[in-house]
Amino acid sequence: MKRIVCFVVAALLFLSVEASAQTKLDRVRISHSSISGSQAVLWVIEDAGIFRKYGLAPQIIFISGGPLNIAALVSGDLDFTIFAGPASIAASLEGADVVVLMSFVNTMEHSFFSHPSIKKPWDLKGKKIGVARIGSSDDYGGRIALKKWGLDPEKDVAILGVGGQPSRIAAMQTGRVDATLLQPPITVKARQEGYNELASLADLGLDYLGTCLVTTRARIQKDEELVRRFGKAFVEGIHFYKTQKETSLRSIAKFTKEKERPALEESYNADAVKFMARVPYPNLKGVEAILEDLAKKNPKAQGADPKSFIEPRFLKELEDSGFISRLYGK
């Protein structure tokens, strides 16, 4: 009987400690805007228990499209969001309280795919190109690429907003569009189906703010220490992503619903190995490039200070403290 009583008491104490630990976790609402390898780092960090390590319990929400994420962020329905940089820059120009904390990809990781009959970039003249939506990151990258190839995106092609990557592949299959831009891991599927890879935008040397972690200055002022812990979890999570390949591949598979090993490998090699920096500072040259593009239609972008759109001090604190060098054993 005494043993049973002791067991029950121990169990209750254990549950009490567990409940106490649960109450100490800070709830954080964060969204992501696409199902792609560059945003898989969010689930890598969650699955590895790193958020919990820093006293955070994230509620992860999928919201497609920059405008909806920004609206939820500014209204206070979100604490953080992950999406491409141009949406944040454009919203900030219009007075929205948004600021970029980190940029995980400082170039364009998309590849330009076309029907097999289109062999060279200039063969795109007179063709239809599918993007997620007008003003999206792939739309921006596609227009820059077309200009580099000597094509006028306003006159020489028709650019259509057709939705996410599965929708863009489907639009190619049905002939609705002749070409589109895709990111890993779905790039593997495009090759398997015989589509022609015209170019990798990363090879064009484009400075950009790709996948970014964004919050509001109001959120920083409300609880700077929470933002600091959140940033620390991401930096440690990037280290985990880069050094724990097999575990990270399982998180990518769960996030993207991709089962094929070659596709998962391509996503991992692109995002964890090639593009993602150990210290993911937002790229000022990328901000400048976005402002230059926005200035064509928005006079507010002319002369805007690129530094006003980013908040790198939390990363700098981690770097200056030696936290990042200790992670990598240097």
Could you tell me the pLDDT band of residue 36, with boundaries at 50, 70 and 90?
A: confident
- CB–CB of 118/124 below 8 Å? yes
**Most confident by average pLDDT, 11-25, 158-172, 192-206, 219-233:** 219-233
ω before 116 within 30° of 0 (cis)?
no
CB atoms inside a 10 Å sphere around CB 152? 11
Say which CATH topology domain 2-107+208-327 has.
D-Maltodextrin-Binding Protein; domain 2 (3.40.190)
pLDDT of residue 306: 96
Domain 111-204 has CATH 3.40.190.10: yes
- CB–CB of 231/315 below 8 Å? yes
Cα separation of 37 and 28, whole Å? 22
CB atoms inside a 10 Å sphere around CB 76? 12
pLDDT of residue 238: 96
Could you tell me the pLDDT band of residue 85, with boundaries at 50, 70 and 90?
A: confident
- Asked, colleague to colleague, whether 2-107+208-327 and 111-204 share their fold, the answer is yes
Return the domain boundaries, the chain. 2-107+208-327, 111-204
pLDDT digits (tens, 9 = 90+) for 144-190: 889 889 999 999 999 999 988 889 999 999 999 999 999 888 898 89
- Please give the average per-residue pLDDT across 255-262, as a whole number: 89
Q: Phi/psi of residue 162, each to 5°?
A: -125, 0
As a whole-number percent, the residues of the chain with pLDDT over 70 amount to 93
pLDDT of residue 23: 54
Higher pLDDT, 210 or 123: 123
pTM: 0.81
Torsion of CA 167, 171, 177, 181, to 10 degrees: 40
Which of 102, 99, 157 shows the shortest CA–CA distance to 124? Answer: 157
- CB–CB of 40/90 below 8 Å? no
Mean pLDDT (the chain) is: 88
The distance of Cα 144 from the centroid of its chain, to the nearest Å, equals 20
SS3 for 273?
helix
Task: Name the residue type at position 230.
Answer: F
CB atoms inside a 10 Å sphere around CB 181? 28
